[in-house]
Structure 1
Amino acid sequence: MIGRLNGVILEKQPPDLLLDVAGVGYEVQLPLTSFYALPDVGKAAIIYTHFVVREDAQLLYGFCTQTERSLFRQLIKANGVGPKLALTILSGMTAQHFVRCVQFDDISTLVKLPGVGKKTAERLVIEMRDRLKEWGVTSTTPITDKLLLSDDEALFAPPASAEQDAVSALVGLGYSPLQAAKAVKQYVTPGISSEQLIKAALKSMI
């Protein structure tokens, strides 16, 4: 079991990360909430991982915190939730936000996530409630996943790839191309990065 990686970031293309650990390049998929917290390419990073072995592939999922990894592991135990859907859920909201949705039966927010219909959301609330009751989230706990976009972005137009990369990342998470393009388009401003576009688009759809 690979539980933790400490290396240098070689490539970043949400949600995929290539991490150099002692000369070995590990391909890791991260939820976008973790992806936002990564340092730049060429910088060192510590990633907590979960290794999944299938008949046709061996996949490594990564998280910036052990809390996110713990929630991911709880999610994939739920009926009908595989690693891809768990990754999508944690890309659309922080672990803290998800726990609040479960503890306060917020079905309406969960169904806005791609791949989560009403029945899946209801099942998640029922199955996850007891597993998450010790996480300490209350109705007054502040949610720290507010979108932060500064008003003094660089005065240069963003490269076309920033918008394209954002759309591709959202499509990879399960949103339709039309839905992804529409959500991203409204946030394209001079100097904005693909990661900021992804984050802003996700917030608008939740």
Structure 2
Amino acid sequence: MIAYLRGTVLEKAGGTVIVMAGGVGYKVEVPISSYAGLPAAGQEVNLRIYTKVSEDSIALFGFLTAIEKRAFERLISVSGIGPALGVKVLSGIAVENLVSCIRGGDIVGLTRVPGIGKKTAERIILELKDKLDDLPLGAPTRLPGTTAEHFSALEADVLSALINLGSPAAAAEQAVAKAKGMVNSGDFEALFRKSLELVR
């Protein structure tokens, strides 16, 4: 089973990356937060891998940080959440904010994440509330040094993702504020990509 992959980025698009290692190209699905941190084609990348083996396929899911992979593994331990949905959830909310929602029993906050309905949110809280001690806790709607209270929860998650990637808080806030007037602010991926483009 593949647990770690080091190789060269061949190409990346649509939330997937092809990593060349030992003459083999591995197609890896990654959440938006990891996707945004991937190097350019031709450069080396290191990914922590979760391997899903089924009767007719092998699927790889990759993460730039151990924390993201740990959060992913907790999510897919919940009944009804498979790897594809786990990646979708992590693309829609930063790990710290996810942990805050789960510990706080915030069903409404979780249902703002694409792919999570009320019943799924209730299951996540019930099954994971006491299993997150080794994951970081954050504030879902406000970030230190920003005026994130002017943003929706989804917009605050985009802001958090930008700051986690190393963008200065003030610059990230300005980028999100500008981007939400240019794209559908209810679409995390579109808002994140436009904000990332503006903050650079």
TMscore range, shorter length = 0.7 to 0.9
Q: Is the 8 A contact 1:11 1:41 kept in 2?
A: yes
Matched residue, 1:112: 112
Aligned-residue RMSD, C-alpha: 3.0
Q: Is the 8 A contact 2:32 2:189 kept in 1?
A: no
Shift of 1:133: 3.2
2:27 corresponds in structure 1 to: 27
Which ranges of 4 or more aligned residues in structure 1 deviate by more than 3 Å?
Answer: 138-144, 195-198
User: In the alignment, which residue of structure 2 is the partner of 1:145?
Assistant: 161
Q: List runs of 5+ in structure 2 lacking aligned partners.
A: 145-156, 164-171, 196-200
Aligned mate of 1:199, from 189, 192, 195: 192
User: Match of 2:161, SS?
Assistant: coil
1:20-58 Cα offsets, whole Å, 9 max, x none, are: 112111100001111011111111110000100012321
Contact 2:51 2:58 in 1 (8 A): yes
- Where does the alignment leave 5 or more consecutive residues of structure 1 unmatched? 152-182, 189-194
**Share of identical aligned residues, percent?**
33
CA contact (8 A) 2:15 2:32 kept: yes
CA contact (8 A) 1:33 1:92 kept: no
Instruction: Give the TM-score of the pair, scaled to structure 2.
Output: 0.72
Contact 1:184 1:197 (C-alpha < 8 Å) held by counterparts:
no
Query: What's the offset of the Cα at 1:197?
Result: 3.8
| TM-score where L is the length of structure 1 | 0.70
Alignment partner of 1:186 out of 175, 179, 182 = 182
Measured in 1, the distance between the counterparts of 2:59 and 2:68 equals 17
Q: Aligned pair in 2 of structure 1 residues 131, 12: CA closer, same or farther (>3 Å)?
A: same
- C-alpha displacement at 1:104, in angstroms? 1.2
Q: In 1, distance between residues paired with 2:102 and 2:116?
A: 13
Shift of 1:186: 2.7
